[in-house]
Amino acid sequence: MGRVGVLLLNLGGPDQLKDVRPFLFNLFSDPEIIRLPFPWLQKPLAWLISTKRAKISQENYKQIGGGSPLRKITDAQAQALQEHLQTKGQEVSVYVGMRYWHPFTEEAIATIKADGIERLVILPLYPQFSISTSGSSFRLLENLWTEDPDLSKIEHTVIPSWYQQPQYLQAMADLIAQELDKFSNPDQVHIFFSAHGVPISYVTEAGDPYQQEIEDCTALIMKTLNRPNPHTLAYQSRVGPVEWLQPYTEDALQELGAKNTQDLLVVPISFVSEHIETLQEIDIEYREIAEESGIKQFERVPALNTHPLFIESLTTLVVDALESPSRELSEVIRPPETVKIYPPERWEWGMTTAAEVWNGRLAMIGFIALLLELISGTGPLHFAGLL
C-alpha cells in the first residue's frame, strides 16, 4: 500500500498574544467565514476587523493563559492516534494541518510530500460537516492539488463528517454521565448542548448540512446517554450583522433561567478540543449570563481532547477509510447534493432571505467605506464637505 499518512484538519489558534491579530486576519480573509459579493474587498475587510477586534480578543486570550491551547492538544491527539494505529498493525504517520495558524495546512502538505507519503487519509477534527470548517479546508486542499501536479501522485481519501461514529458517541455520553453524577440530583440537571453557529443563509441558500448534522448528533448522544434529563440545543459565537442559526446560546440560557432552571450542564458539541470558545466564551461569558439569569449550578463537560475512547473512534475511522474505496476531494466539495462551497450568488428583489442577506452585505460595505474614510481622512464624503 506504500507509505500511509493521516492529515488531521483543525482551525488553529494564536499561540501568543502577538499572534492574535494576524490569526484574526487569516480567519476573516477566508470567504467561507465572511462571504462578500466583491472578492477584492475580502482582505481590506479582514484587516479592518482584525485590527478592530485584536485588543478585545487579546483580553479574552489573557483570561485563558495568554494563548490558545489548540495546537498543543491537537499535536497530542495526533501522537495518540499514531500510537494507537500502531497497536492495530497500521504503520501510519499522522500530520496536523491548521487552517488559520501554524502549522498551516500548506506546511503539513509540504511535509507529507517530503516524507514520500503515497496514500493519505484526510480527517477533519470537526464531527459535523460545515462549509465554513471542513468545507473551507477541503477547498484549500483542492486548490493545492490543482496547483501542484506532484500531489496527484498521492492517493487520498476524505472523511467528510463522522458524528455518527459509535465510539465517539459513547465517549461523549461517558463524559456527560461523569459530570451529571457530580450533581446532587443528576436526573434533574438540564443538559445544554452549545454548538458553534453559522449564518442561516449557509443552510437555507448554500445547502450546508451542518444544522441537520448537529441536531442528529445531539439526538444520538442523548440516545447513547440513556438518561431522563431534559436537554436544549443552542448556537454560540455569532459575529456580524446577518442572522445566524438560532436559538442563540445567550438567549437560551436566559430563557432557562426565567423558567427557574437550577442545575445546568453545558456540552460543547461541535468542539473536540479545549480552546477559546470553551475556556473563555462558555466558562466565563456564558457562566456569567447563566448566573445572572438565576441558574444556581453551572457546569461544563470537558472537551474530548485525548479521551481514550475518542482516540479509538479516530483510529476506527482511519482503518475503515483505508479499507474502503477512496473518496476524493472533488467528490466532497462538489457532491451530487446542493452543498455550495462559496457559490456565485445572484441578486434577488423583494422580501426574500437572499435579498435580506444582500441588504445586510451592502449595509456592511457602506459602513466599512465610511470607517475607511474616517480613518484615512479622504474620500467622496470629505470632498462633498459632508465630513
Radius of gyration of the chain (CA): 22
**What nine digits make up the cell of 129?**
460537516
**285 assigned ligand-binding residue:** no
Q: How far, in Å, CA of 22 to CA of 264, rounded?
A: 36
Q: How far, in Å, CA of 314 to CA of 77, rounded?
A: 9
- CA–centroid distance for 237 within its chain: 10
End-to-end CA distance of the chain: 68
**84 assigned ligand-binding residue:** no
Q: How far, in Å, CA of 366 to CA of 106, rounded?
A: 34
CA distances from 200 to 67, 111, 125, 243, 360 (A): 30, 37, 22, 6, 13
Sheet containing strand 92-98, strands side by side: 92-98, 4-10, 119-124, 155-158
**What nine digits make up the cell of 194?**
452549545
Which residues sit in the known binding site for Fe(2+)?
A: 196, 277
Which residues sit in the known binding site?
A: 196, 277
